[in-house]
């Protein structure tokens, strides 16, 4: 699902990409990089508030899993989007 979502994002099929990211996170809610790249597509769709919410969720999961690398990347991206 992650790869399919990424392929649609690369092809600029953003609505299809969002649908696949939603499916991915519904089945695998702790997929840190799914949250990261879902937020990227949301940002491209000018849905920055939604992207920030997804990043916060992903960050909470990454911290809970003690995944420092993912947490750092999610936090950094969230900082970029925060006004």
pLDDT at residue 56, as a whole number: 97
| Residue 15's pLDDT band (cuts 50, 70, 90) | very high
pTM of the model: 0.94
For 27-66, what is each residue's pLDDT tens digit?
999 999 999 999 999 999 999 999 999 999 999 999 999 9
Cα first-last separation, the chain = 31
List phi, psi (to 5°) of 45.
Answer: -90, 10
């Amino acid at each position: 699902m992650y790869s399919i979502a990424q392929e649609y994002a690369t092809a600029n099929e953003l609505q299809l990409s969002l649908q696949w990211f939603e499916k991915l996170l519904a089945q695998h809610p702790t997929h840190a990089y799914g949250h990261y790249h879902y937020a990227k597509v949301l940002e491209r769709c000018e849905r920055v508030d939604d992207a920030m919410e997804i990043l916060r969720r992903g960050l909470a999961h990454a911290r809970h899993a003690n995944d420092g690398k993912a947490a750092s990347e999610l936090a950094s991206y969230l900082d970029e989007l925060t006004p």
